[in-house]
Every structure is written in C-alpha cells, then in structure tokens.
Amino acid sequence: RSTNGGNSWTPISNSGATGTHVDQHQLVYVSNSRLIVGNDGGIYVSDNMNAGTPTFVNKNNGFNVTQFYGADFHPTTTDYFLAGAQDNNTLRLNAAGVATGTAMVGGDGAIPHIDQTNGNLQIGAYVFNNYYRSLNGSGFGNIASNNNGQFINPSDLDDNGKVLYAGEAAGKFFRITNLTGTPVSSVQNVSLMGAREVTAVRVDRSQANAVWFGASFGNLAPMILQVGDANGTPSVFNFATITGAPANANVSSIEQDPTNFNRLIVTLSNYGITSIYQSLNGGSTFQSIEGNLPDMPVYWSVILPSNIEPNGPGNGAGGLMIGTETGVWFTTNVNGASTNWQPYANFPNVRTDMIRYRASDRMILAATHGRGLWTAVLTQATGVSNVTATRDFIKYVSAQNNRLSIAVGNGPTRRMTVELFDTRGALLHRETRAYGNATLPLGAWAHGAYIVRLTGDKNEVYVKQFVK
C-alpha cells in the first residue's frame, strides 16, 4: 500500500490467517475502508483498510474457482481424484460435489497421474520436472528435481511400463523409470526436434515403450513425433510437421484412438490458427477438423467409444469431446471442414485444460482453470429405437451383393446421415452426405443382422434392420 501517491510502498498482507492468498488478480474499493480482493485463492475482504495492518477474511464458502491444470481419477474408486491447481497444491478429493481437497504436494500443482492398473501408484507434480511419488495413495516423496521443461510441464504415465515421460529443454525429453522401485531419472536427446520443445506427451496405446511427443516453438512449425524404445535407447519411428500450423504454434495434446491406432487427434492452444487436426495414417499427415469451432485455443481432446452418447440418449453416439478456452465442446460426427461442434449448455464458460474418460463407469472428468473439477456419467447406446419412418423421406433400403442400396423419396431434405449398427446397438459406421440415392459397400462386414438408421437435416428419420 502507498499513502503518498506511489512514492513508497509497504506490504500490508501475507498468506497467514489474517492475510490473503498469493497472486492477486483484482482489487476493488467499496469504500475507503473496505477492499475486495480477487486472487488464486478466490475472494478476500478487508473492512479496515485504514488500519496500519489491515486484516482480510476468506469469503470462499461454496465458491468454486480453483484453477486446475490437470487431474486424474482412481481406476476403481468412483469419487477419488488427484488434481494439480495453480498455487493451491496437488489435491486429493474423495467426494462428489463442492468439497475441500487434501493437499498431497505443496505449491503449484501441475499434471498428476494415477496408475490405472495399480491405483496405489500415484504421481504428483510441481513446476518443471519436479515430481513426487506415492506407493500407497497417501504419503508422497520427491523422486525428481529438474527445473527444465515447461513451467506446467506436459507428461504421461506408462501404466504398463511404470515410466513417466515429460518435456525437457529444446530437443530433449525427460523420463523416470522403475517407478515401483528405486526411480531413475534421465534426459534423452531427440535431434530431429531441433530447437523445438516438448509441449504434449501421449503414451502409445498399441506399441510397448513407444511415446508420441508434440514439439513446439523454436521459430519452427510444430511437429508430432512417435519415439520407440523410449524407456531404453530412443529412436524416432515416425514424424510430421503440421501443414498449415504457423511457426511457434503450441501443440497442447495428442490423442490416439483406442480402436484404430492409426487415428490421432492433435490440438493447438493459440488464437488465430486452426486448433484441431486429425491423422488417419498414423501421424504421417494431418487434416483440419476445425469445422464451425470458434477461433479459440483448444487444450485437450478425448475420443469417445462408438456407443457412448455425449449429449444424452438419442442424440448421437461416439465422436470427440474437447477442452477449450470456453469450456467443453463435442461432436458426434468428425467430418473434416464440415465438422459440427457444439458447446455443453450446462457447462461453465471457462478454460478447460484437461478431459479424461474412464470406461469402467463411463465417467468423464474435466479440469477447469477457474471453476474446479467437473464430472458426469455419459449414457450408453444399448440399441436403436424402432421409430416410425418420416413420410416421403426414404422409399426403401435393400441389402444384396455385398451392397446396401438406399432409395430416397421426394422430401425437402438436403443432407442425410447414414449410421450402421450391430444388433447390440454398437455404432459401426457413420457418414453425412447429400440427400439422394446411395450405395454403401458391405464387403468388410461379417454375415449377420444389422440396423441402418437414416436421419435428415429436418429431423426426418428412417430405421430398418437388414441381413447381409
């Protein structure tokens, strides 16, 4: 505080019982004695700002504004989360709803991990490459102290190999092996990265000891690399720069399809650029799937199983869910430049840094930077409704000679979506095309019964079972 027009300043607050939380964002005088303060800890108020040493009172009861960078969930305990928060520690939360977390690691909390094959192995992260480990889900001890990498450093845990992979200085990555024994830290060079730095990490779903890295900055276009033997002597299996992404664009996440390992989703967290790309050939080339998404940073993506309905029963299944600068968005039909993204109406308009999906109970977890953690249980499509067909929409559907023939009517439809399901209700194929007669090849499908559902852009619908 200054009482002489800014010529000199005296500290009037600390982080003790009568002070404020650290990192101030906003100061609002209500009167000459009442000051409202917004900071990393929420809202604090002083009613004696005229005193020599003002006192502040915490006003955060029920006020959920924690700024999380990342979170993970326990593989078998429903409401058990580990989450890293800006200036609010790495927290363990054990209850649904607005609740108080238990600090497991102090200071800035970064990207935490819980082993999905052994929930007792947990990793807490401070800034850069400073990591803490627990083998019992309780006490955490330091296992690495390295001040290279990003301030909030990207990392991923190989649950099977018990190895943590993370960013480091330009042209390098950091790893910690033997996480269930005596951990061993090392720095590995990847010369192909050049001056780029690791900004995203994803353990490969299909190949043991392989890792995907997103490399950014260095006045170079961002690059995606697949590194093999990452826990031993690393070598680059595959790499590609993202065509169309400008130099210094930031790769924020990499997602790999658990049912099609050649499919990758890459997000970038900058304004003024294309923010989401897809590869269908194992990372050799990437195409934009930005569609109608507004110009904003995208921080994370999750590929949903084909039978999971992101927007409730009967509103489409599968697709993608993404964390953005304005909350969580989703699509059930990835279709290149025509991809139609929708925001969740009941989710806050807040930066969302990470999303995770737990298949065992269909829980989705979103870590927001300003509104705490959010969870939901997604619905599962268990079949296809036997609805009444819209008049004049479809004349008939016929399956013969390994082809599905669709004959349309004379309705006002302009575009239609074709979906094929097995008899359990699992989505096998989806495409959107112009309204008109169509033929779909069925040679790749086994002999048996299937269901086709056609929907039009004016809510027309036609459902029919057929046998190949």
What one-letter code names the amino acid at 435? Y
Q: Does residue 370 come out as left (phi exceeding 0), alpha (psi in the -120 to 50 range) or beta?
A: left
| Number of Cβ atoms within 10 Å of the Cβ of 19 | 18
Q: Which residue has the tokens 């959107």?
A: 432
Q: Which fold would CATH assign to domain 68-380?
A: Methylamine Dehydrogenase; Chain H (2.130.10)
Rounded CA separation 393/441 (Å): 22
So what's the pLDDT on residue 357? Answer: 96
- What is the mean pLDDT of the segment spanning 53-72? 93
Q: Do the domains 394-467 and 68-380 match in fold?
A: no
Rounded CA separation 343/449 (Å): 35
So what's the pLDDT on residue 383? Answer: 59
User: What dotted CATH number matches 394-467?
Assistant: 2.60.40.3080
Percent of the chain beyond pLDDT 90? 75
Q: Please, what is the Cα angle at 27 between 22 and 32, to 5 degrees?
A: 125
What one-letter code names the amino acid at 139? G
* 3-state secondary structure (DSSP) of residue 11: coil
Beta-carbon contacts of 446 under 8 Å, excluding residues fewer than 6 positions away, are 468
Q: Which residue has the tokens 């807040």?
A: 350
So what's the pLDDT on residue 384? Answer: 58
DSSP strands (E only) in 181-338: 184-189, 197-203, 211-216, 223-228, 235-241, 251-256, 264-268, 276-279, 287-288, 298-303, 308-309, 320-324, 327-331
Closest alpha carbon to 396 in 407, 410, 411: 407
- What is the mean pLDDT of the segment spanning 335-348? 92
Closest alpha carbon to 397 in 464, 443, 459, 468: 464
- What is the mean pLDDT of the segment spanning 447-453? 84
Q: Helix (H) and strand (E) counts for the chain?
A: 0, 40
- What is the mean pLDDT of the segment spanning 225-247? 96
Rounded CA separation 143/398 (Å): 63
pLDDT-based confidence at 424, cuts 50/70/90?
A: low
For 368, half-sphere exposure in the C-beta direction (CA atoms, 13 angstrom radius) is 19
- What is the mean pLDDT of the segment spanning 6-27? 88
Beta bridge partners of 197: 216
For 134, half-sphere exposure in the C-beta direction (CA atoms, 13 angstrom radius) is 20
The continuous run of DSSP H or E covering 26 comes out as strand 24-29
Q: What is the DSSP letter of 111?
A: -
So what's the pLDDT on residue 17? Answer: 73
Q: What residues does each domain of the chain span?
A: 1-63, 68-380, 394-467
| Whole-number average pLDDT of the chain | 93
- What is the mean pLDDT of the segment spanning 157-169? 98
- What is the mean pLDDT of the segment spanning 243-259? 95
**Six token digits for residue 449:** 């019964």
* Cβ 337 vs Cβ 288: under 8 Å: yes
Rounded CA separation 254/213 (Å): 8
Does this model's pTM top 0.85? My answer is no
Rounded CA separation 450/399 (Å): 10
Closest alpha carbon to 328 in 308, 348, 303: 348
- What is the mean pLDDT of the segment spanning 175-183? 98
The pLDDT tens digits for 277-286 are 999 999 999 9
Rounded CA separation 441/457 (Å): 23
**Six token digits for residue 141:** 């001890």
Rounded CA separation 102/80 (Å): 11
So what's the pLDDT on residue 62? Answer: 85
Rounded CA separation 27/382 (Å): 53
Q: Mean pLDDT: which of 6-15, 145-154, 377-386 is highest?
A: 145-154
